[in-house]
Structure 1
Amino acid sequence: MRLADALMLLVCLAACQVVLGQEMILFADDHYKALGEPLIAAAPVGPVLQAGQDDLVRIAIDNRGRLDGLISTGVFGQAGEAALERQEEVKAIDALNLVASLKSIPEVEVLTPEVNLSQLSSGEAATIQFAVRPSPSARGSYDLPLEVRYERQIDVKVSAGLVYPLLLPGRSTQTITLEVMPLGKSMRAERVRSSLRPGANGSLDLVIRNLLPSTVRNCSATLASGGPFLVGQSRATLGDLRPGQVALASFQIQTDRGVAPVEYQMACTIDYDGGSAALTFPVTVGSSGSLPANLGWLAVPAVALAAIALLVRRRRSRPAFGGRYR
């Protein structure tokens, strides 16, 4: 390599370091240098807890790291080793030997010290869980720090067909919001119907039954926002409920675009004259291409209409009596 070319390469690498804020470490005979690193994101899957009850908190973590470039250093060598190095360099965006720790706060004690994952490649997701113990007096939303330590490949050397990665430590700090609700048996979530999809506005219908032996007056339902859900109008008026009577509470919900299509736990507070109750219930987020739950009933009529249309078409194409097909 000429001196001018070498100087130009160093200038390009230095510019990339300034733009991307990454360490530029090169072995002497490197053929390629990958630009990119892991990007860890986390969100609670079941953020609703009952006060005074031990429970498990599930957290979905995913690696959103992306490869910003693969630079050729201009060093010439064996074609096989260069190809292998190119293949290994793109692993710079993978997270290795992950250790996740959720920190306790006075209102919520974390019983699981750490959770380990061997690898989280770019584009992959995993679910980890921690045992927690909310205090009996805990009420409302609480933010718990989540720290994820990992190793990442900063460079790789290939020699005689063997791969020698150079690893450096990395760390990601997230905030996990959990909702703690008081125990209550005066109300029950009788039925849940939702049409939630990633990155879209959806609806949630909740049928609530009064379990008390007396009429409760001025009832209202307040749906808690948390995790990947943002509730538009969080309060629904239910009125008076006689013993055993049910009422419908409807809500509009915006779901985060990056949320995984799995089952989540949500919480709702029922307030009435002289008391309140906390309800938790599961909701399922469908995939972005799935039919919303509240439109699923259209599938059967659509099939029936298609069958009728096909039958009518065949009858119209049938020749009159005494005719023949050509």
Structure 2
Amino acid sequence: MREIAVVFVLLAFLAHSAMGEEMVFFADDLYKAAATPELHASLVDPAVAPGGSTALKIVVANSGRVLALLPTGIQGSSLEASREMQEELRSVDALNVVATLTAKDPVSVLSGPATIPLLPSGTAQPVEFLVQVGEGAEGPYHLDLRLDYEHQIDVRISAGQASPLYVPANVSEEITIHAGGSRESFRADYARSELWPGENGTLTLVIRNLAGPAGNCSARLLAAPPFRASDQPVSLGYMQPGDLALATFWVEVGDNASVRQYQMACQVLQDGESSAWSSTIPLTVAVEEGQSIQIWLVPLPLILALAFLAWRWWQG
């Protein structure tokens, strides 16, 4: 039994090493989970108006997974073993999340850090920051978002009580906003999206001209993570007042996109210059049924083979 325990601990160590974490556990552990939170951030609406303050809503999501749940070989009661298995699964949850947004001229952040007390795996929570963009600013600007949090790396069960061990961690992401434009010259009358996490899809818009004649028009999709779109504009041609034009964009969706509604912005260009317009268009990212957090258990033949090798090594 001691040889098998050595194998299990080795497997857990390798799983944690693959995630870039050190292996830490109590001496009397019955189980060890190879798991950690994975935090990602996405901007709800990247379009901001210059010369004033705007409330930026950012969604923070946790897509952490339990990669392995391994017995250590140490004996304990069935009740303690069951309780420890359940508590070890909390290793993917993020606690005391503090989101801090910083920017450089001409963008300034007017509000302080935002907090999320608990962000379990598979969930998302919005945070808001008040930002100000300088008068006359136009184009994309990159902001830095730092997420500080705590997560469980081990837990001990004693007399029916759980005693978790927490460590601090952090991750940084780039948030891109697009400044410039009004929202009155054009309008999106129809939007259809066919987008799935980790896949390339399409977003189709029907754009209406609400103002005067506009020559050599084109449209560009302003996307923020977890989306990525080409910077190449889509031609709309010459548009009279009231005219409709069809624009289809290819969109790459990140693996960490969750099932919910996101918002993007589309910018119409006229004669190669910005038409001083941008419009926010909601779209839905769909995830197929049956996807869930995966718990990896070591196959029995592999366990037996590794146990045999460990026994041979132990015998010298």
TM over 0.5: yes
Partner residue of 2:93?
94
3-state SS of 2:65 partner: coil
Number of positions where the alignment pairs a residue of Structure 1 with one of Structure 2? 283
Answering whether residue 219 of structure 2 is matched by residue 192 of structure 1, we say no
1:207 aligned partner: 207
Is the partner of 1:170 in helix, strand or coil?
A: strand
After the TM superposition, which residues 138-149 of structure 1 pair with which residues of structure 2 at under 5 Å, given as runs? 138-149=137-148
Q: Which TM-score applies when normalising by structure 1?
A: 0.77
Partner residue, 2:313: none
Change (3 A) 1:238 1:289: farther
Whether the 8 Å contact between 2:191 and 2:283 is mirrored in structure 1 is no
CA contact (8 A) 1:208 1:249 kept: no
SS at match of 2:36: coil
Contact 1:191–1:207 (CA under 8 A) maintained in structure 2: yes
Q: Name the amino acid aligned to 1:208.
A: R
Q: Relative to 1, partners in 2 of residues 1:84 and 1:233: Cα closer, same or farther, differing over 3 Å?
A: same
Q: What is the TM-score with the length of structure 2 in the denominator? A: 0.79
Aligned residue runs from structure 1 range 168-183, under 5 A: 168-183=167-182
State the distance in 1 between where 2:8 and 2:250 align.
51
Structure 1 residues 52 and 249, CA gap change in structure 2 (3 angstroms): farther
Give the letter for the 2:248 counterpart: F
Residue matched to 2:245: 248
Query: More displaced, 113-122 or 230-239?
Result: 230-239
Q: Distance in 2 between matches of 1:157 and 1:143?
A: 43
From the two aligned structures, give the one with the greater strand fraction.
2
Contact 2:236 2:245 in 1 (8 A): no
Distance 1:76 1:274, change over 3 A: closer
1:210–1:5 CA distance, 2 compared to 1 (3 A): closer
Whole-Å Cα distance in 1 between the matches of residues 79 and 64 of structure 2? 27
The range that moved more, 125-134 or 279-288, is 279-288
1:224 aligns with 2:221: yes
In the alignment, the residues of structure 2 paired with residue 267 and residue 246 of structure 1 have an alpha-carbon distance, to the nearest angstrom, of 17
Give runs of aligned pairs for residues 257-268 of structure 1, distance below 5 A.
258=257, 260-268=259-267
Distance 1:255 1:267 in 2: 16
Matched residue of 2:83: which SS?
A: helix
Q: Please give the residue correspondences for 1:307-318 in structure 2 after superposition, counting only pairs within 5 Å.
A: none
C-alpha distance after superposition, 1:264-304 (max 9, x if no partner): 131313314998321213232253569xxxxxxxxxxxxxx
Q: Secondary structure at the match of 1:67?
A: strand
- Compute the RMSD of aligned alpha carbons: 2.8
Structure 1 residues 266 and 18 mapped into 2: Cα distance closer, same or farther (>3 Å)? closer
Q: Which amino acid aligns with 2:138?
A: R
Contact 2:39 2:63 in 1 (8 A): yes
Question: Aligned equivalents of 1:235 and 1:288: distance in 2?
Answer: 28
Which residue pairs with 1:313 in the alignment? none
Q: Larger Rg: 1 or 2?
A: 1
How far does residue 195 in structure 1 lie from its aligned partner after superposition? 3.1
Distance 1:188 1:12 in 2: 58
- On the 8 A contact 2:188/2:281 being kept in 1, the answer is no
Q: CA deviation at 1:168?
A: 0.2
Q: 2:43 matched to which residue of 1?
A: 44
Are the aligned partners of 1:194 and 1:283 in contact in 2 as well (CA < 8 Å)?
Answer: no
Looking at structure 2, the residues matched to 41 and 59 of structure 1 have their Cα atoms a distance apart, in angstroms, of 10
Which region of structure 1 is more displaced relative to structure 2, 142-151 or 219-228?
Answer: 219-228
Name structure 2 gaps, 5 residues minimum: 290-316
Query: Could you say which residue in structure 2 is the equivalent of 1:158?
Result: 157
Alpha-carbon distance, 1:179 to partner: 1.1
